[in-house]
Amino acid sequence: MLGIIIATVMITIIGIVVGTGLVYTAKKFYVEADPREIKVRECLPGNNCGACGYAGCDAVAAAIVKGDAPVNACPVGGASVTEKIGEIMGTSADAQERKTAFVRCAGTCEVTHDQGNYIGIRDCRSAVLSGMNVTECSYGCLGYGSCVSVCPQNAISVKDGAAVVDPSRCIGCGLCCKACPRGLIELVPESRKVRVQCSNRDKGAQVKAVCSAGCIGCMLCTRQCEFDAITVTDNLAKVNYANCTQCGKCADKCPVKAITPPASKRDNMNGERK
């Protein structure tokens, strides 16, 4: 019986000493922090999962307050957390429109072909390093799925030899943009559906020879646009997302259908052409 009492008393004393020590250290070594940082930290899930790319919730809260990270930096929290952080930071969640990845190539097996017979590691970066022209189009999607393997959300798949992003699953982390050795993937505001689905900067005749869906730089879209929202540089059309009104005239006029139509003119929302 005495043993139990001694044990209880000793453990209680150790507990009290340790607890007091913790409180004392917390007060003594308190680090002055931006009050907004504490508020932002409270909104975050607190799992310290690191999916945002920072070393835990404290780190990303500090980055958000500093302006280094967007208010929607936390992919786990989703819209509700983004909204709360947006309120604290004084920017509405709408101002930071969700961005999703977009593959600027429509080079499926139907419209273009592989060249030679690459039998190395099934990885785009290895294919590029091999030095051979794996695809006929030297700008196009290789289709070995380096982007697929880095995507944390399984949002990318290779269909018919070209990568396609499922915008509903994309969290806009940008890992695929860095993984693509040909730099085909970019982050585009989700609502901007009129996009140029080609990256080939060669002259029209050369493009025609290798791909039937490639931008030939014919300037028809530029002439069609009333808002100066689409320009052709280096034989490649580029949409200025700030000016674009989603009218879709350029997409209608494009002879090779290299421009994706706006949401109002398509059946499915998967980012694929009709």
Interface contacts to another protein, rule CB under 8 A: 3, 6-7, 10-11, 14-15, 18-19, 21-22, 25-26, 29-31, 48, 50, 55-56, 59, 121-122
**Residue 186 CB partners (closer than 8 Å, separation 6+):** 101, 102, 104, 177
Q: Note whether 201 and 234 are within 8 A (CB).
A: yes
Please say which residue, 48 or 91, places its beta carbon nearer to another protein.
48
Please say which residue, 18 or 219, places its beta carbon nearer to another protein.
18
CA angle 53, 54, 56 (to 5 degrees): 120
With CA atoms as reference, report the closest residue to 258 among 228, 235, 241, 229: 235
Minimum gap (Å) between residue 140 Cβ and another protein: 24
Minimum gap (Å) between residue 76 Cβ and another protein: 15
Please say which residue, 56 or 189, places its beta carbon nearer to another protein.
56
Please say which residue, 32 or 94, places its beta carbon nearer to another protein.
32
Please say which residue, 53 or 189, places its beta carbon nearer to another protein.
53
Give the SS3 label for residue 205. Answer: helix
CA angle 131, 184, 220 (to 5 degrees): 115
DSSP 187: E
Minimum gap (Å) between residue 117 Cβ and another protein: 17
Minimum gap (Å) between residue 47 Cβ and another protein: 11
Minimum gap (Å) between residue 164 Cβ and another protein: 23
User: Can you spell out the DSSP letters for 208-245?
Assistant: HHHBTTS-----HHHHH-SSS-EEEETTEEEE-TTT--
